[in-house]
Structure 1
Amino acid sequence: MSPTPTALLSPADQERRRALRVMKNVALGALVFMAVVFAVSFPLQQEVPWLAYVRAAAEGGMVGALADWFAVTALFRHPLGIPIPHTAIIPSRKDEIGRTLGEFVETNFLSADVVRTKLESMGVSRRLGEWLARPEHADRVADEGSAMVAGVLRALSDSDVQDLITDIAREHVIAPEWGPPLGGWLERLVDAGAHHGAVDLAADTIAAWLEVNRASFDGLVSRRLPSWVPSMAHRLIDDTLYKEAVTFVRAVQDDPGHPARRAVDQYLERLADNLQHDPATIGRFEDAKGGVFDSPRVRELAAEAWNTTKAGLLTSLADPASALRQRATQALVDAGARLSTDPALQHRVDTWVTDGAVFLVDRYRHDIASIITETVEKWDPAETTEKIELMVGRDLQYIRLNGTIVGALAGLLIFTIAHALVG
């Protein structure tokens, strides 16, 4: 297994590789030191008796160093390239390790009790409120939210949005019958007399128009009279028509029971009834509705409305001083202030967050844990081995060093006890 070129490693991994090499050299140096001590003390122990103790310590240190070297190396590769059984554990059992790790995370971290206990102890809503209550934080959230919304708006295709609006309008607005619901609404309006205000407004408007438009009646009827009729009769007829119109409108204004008002009531009652029960009226109304919505001009207006709305939103979202952004920031600050001081609101929000998180964990815990399993399965065995060795290899070299020291002490102790008992 060839190591990854240093140029392809991240700076952190490069530093880990340097530290690993240093510790490997230290551990190897300890083994070589014990070997040198053993090589010197072994032939001289007959002449210098106390060197026997040194030889025993060096011998134990070499055994410990070699045993721990074999154990550490067997995790990552075959020692000396020899395919000894139960060596190169990580590359050969990579997928099993990934599954085990995924099961461990799913069982011990993605359980409802663990998530609920952790969230209930955190005070999520209070911390969030205190953080949002600071204007600089609220402004940051508004910035990020504006960027996200603007990105979504830019990504949307105008033609697709217009088609979607058209489809939704056709399904929920145009396709359903308007006649019967509108007739029922109109019937309730007439029964309650709610239309009287509109009739009063119409009468007042006509009266105001008549007051300032007297000249509009000149020749309205008289121009259709024979030429032999005297001009005085012309003026008399026009004046009479104007006065009758004014008198009629004033009568409608002053008399709540005026025949014209009753005629309006009766017309609206018939219209309400026909819209609910007369197929011909309903059909004409639906045809008129379809004609209006299918008009090319209406579609153009809808497209213009979307384009105008989109451009306005993008401009407001991009401008930190826009009213939209300022209101959004202030709303976030107000929400944060209330959230940080209102215990009842904190309890509700914490309950929502906890219940939502527990629901997601219960429902998707296996899918979340499977990310670990599937990710490890996709890793190359050699690359996986190197990644793990870079992460923990330096600490494992301490095991080799400790094994050398412990082996030396154990060898010395065993020899000392044996010498004391046997002589």
Structure 2
Amino acid sequence: MSTTDREATRTAGVGGFSYTAEDEEKRRGVRRMKATATALLLLVAVVYALATWAGASGVTGWPGYVAAAAEAGMVGALADWFAVTALFRRPMGLPIPHTAIIPTKKDQLGESLGKFVGENFLSAGVVRTRLHALDIAGRLGAWLSEPAHADRVTAELSTALRGALTVLRDADVQAVVGEAITRRAEAAEIAPGIGKTLDRVVADGAHHRAVDLVCARAHDWLVTHGDSVMDAVQGGAPGWTPRFVDRKVGERVYKELLRFVTEMRDMPAHPARGAIDRFLGDFAADLQADTDTRARVERLKSDLVARPEVQDIIASAWGSVRAMIMSAAEDEQSELRLRARASLLSLGARLTTDAQLQRKVEGWLEDAAAYVVTTYRTEITSLISDTVAGWDADQTSRKIEAHIGRDLQFIRINGTVVGALAGLLIYTVSHSLGG
């Protein structure tokens, strides 16, 4: 690594300002142009000296013209050298006023740049006009319509989703989810909703299957546990009755109970089924209108939600949801990713063909951008001025000179040439008028 490269590396990042090896390469080009401009100045100086010597030696005619052109060329070259040098440093180190403009006026330049950007770029009208001309919605639709692009967006979204789920702490999310569900359950009254649902179920006869199932299971249980039923009946008889009477009563009760359940199972129009229908209908009405019934349901709900078992289920729900989402996000053929891809392709197709949707999307983008630039204009412009203020003055001057210094050296060259031509013209006119 050369000394210059080491210097560039050492000064990189000074004051938050990066001076790179590319900048140093440009500075070498600036130095070459400086050498060219200086050599031209020395050339016209030599020409002036030779023309003056020729004139003093008695040569007439051309020495005067050449000397006048060379003299004016030196003046132009020196004037432009001073002007170019004064932008970046003090000429010859002299404390001449209004020199070293960039190092000394860096902060003011940053503020002016920030104000210029804010007034001419960060305005709602400019942003809206520019965004409207870009046709972002149409371009986005055409881009998303390509299957490869939809696959890429789906993959990136899946990666972002997995990253977000990985960063989240399960304990924190479980606490938030548990608190949200509990608060929501406690705040919402469930009795009227249950009553309306039950009312519709009874009206549609959807509960008949449940009644059929209960009757069938009750019949099967009675057939299997007949002895238990008869023993229970006999055990409840008075002690003074004979045992054979208790047995006969138990058998009778069991047979009647079995007959009753069998008839309920086999007869859709059984009176007991109608009684169940009326009970459920009345209960549905009470859930919606009866204050006491609704209050009892709310107390039951609160007691149920407060149970540790229910809280554990609520807290563990996040773990199940998280595992399900992670698995779906990782699997390229999962329903989640396939639906996301299909939605992106559909959105892209609509954005390319639906003019109303295009206008709506562009309106959203324009409104959002206008809000950002109008609300945070001061913060954005202060970012520019604060950033420039944090730059090192000398390094800033060197970097700017590296980028525009080569063109500035052409000013010196042009000043030398134009000055020489102007001097020649002035001398020629003056000589013609005087002679």
Q: One fold, TM greater than 0.5?
A: yes
Q: Structure 1 residue 4: deviation in Å?
A: 9.0
Q: Deviations over 1:346-395 (max 9, x none)?
A: 22222222233223323223332222112112222222222222221121
Instruction: Give distance in 2, aligned partners of 1:186 and 1:324.
Output: 32
Equivalent in 40, 50, 59 of residue 48 of structure 1? 59
Q: Is residue 355 of structure 1 aligned with residue 367 of structure 2?
A: yes
Q: Structure 1 residue 310: deviation in Å?
A: 2.0
Distance 1:246 1:118, change over 3 A: same
* Aligned residue in 1 for 2:239: none
Q: Deviations over 1:300-349 (max 9, x none)?
A: 33343222322332333234444322332222122111211222222222
* Aligned residue in 2 for 1:99: 111
Give, as a single letter, the amino acid of the residue that structure 2 aligns with 1:21: R
Equivalent in 351, 367, 392 of residue 380 of structure 1? 392
Equivalent in 26, 48, 68 of residue 38 of structure 1? 48
Unaligned residue ranges in structure 2 (runs of 5+):
13-18, 235-241
Give, as a single letter, the amino acid of the residue that structure 1 aligns with 2:209: L
Distance 1:369 1:134, change over 3 A: same
* Aligned residue in 2 for 1:90: 102
Give, as a single letter, the amino acid of the residue that structure 1 aligns with 2:41: L
Q: Is residue 421 of structure 1 aligned with residue 433 of structure 2?
A: yes
Equivalent in 179, 202, 224 of residue 216 of structure 1? 224
Contact 1:217 1:241 in 2 (8 A): no
Q: Is residue 205 of structure 1 aligned with residue 213 of structure 2?
A: yes
Instruction: Give distance in 1, aligned partners of 2:217 and 2:249.
Output: 25
Q: What secondary structure sits across from 1:83 in the alignment?
A: coil
Q: What secondary structure sits across from 1:48 in the alignment?
A: coil
Q: Structure 1 residue 281: deviation in Å?
A: 6.5
Distance 1:286 1:239, change over 3 A: closer
Bigger Cα displacement from structure 2, 256-265 vs 111-120 = 256-265
The equivalences for 1:256-295 within 5 A come to 258-274=274-290, 277-278=291-292, 282=295, 285-295=297-307
Give, as a single letter, the amino acid of the residue that structure 1 aligns with 2:374: D
Unaligned residue ranges in structure 1 (runs of 5+):
none
* Aligned residue in 1 for 2:191: 183
Q: Structure 1 residue 44: deviation in Å?
A: 1.4
Q: Structure 1 residue 256: deviation in Å?
A: 9.6
TM-score, normalised relative to structure 2 = 0.85
Instruction: Give distance in 2, aligned partners of 1:170 and 1:205.
Output: 33
Give, as a single letter, the amino acid of the residue that structure 1 aligns with 2:278: R
* Aligned residue in 2 for 1:158: 170
Contact 1:31 1:62 in 2 (8 A): yes
* Aligned residue in 2 for 1:20: 30
Bigger Cα displacement from structure 2, 35-44 vs 76-85 = 35-44
Distance 1:80 1:171, change over 3 A: farther
Q: Deviations over 1:247-279 (max 9, x none)?
A: 2455565569823332333344445444xx33x
- Identical columns (%): 40
TM-score, normalised relative to structure 1 = 0.87
Q: What secondary structure sits across from 1:354 in the alignment?
A: helix
Contact 1:200 1:253 in 2 (8 A): no
Instruction: Give distance in 2, aligned partners of 1:57 and 1:201.
Output: 115
RMSD of aligned C-alpha atoms? 3.0
Give, as a single letter, the amino acid of the residue that structure 1 aligns with 2:105: R
Give, as a single letter, the amino acid of the residue that structure 1 aligns with 2:7: P
Q: Structure 1 residue 54: deviation in Å?
A: 1.7
Q: Structure 1 residue 64: deviation in Å?
A: 0.9
Bigger Cα displacement from structure 2, 115-124 vs 215-224 = 215-224
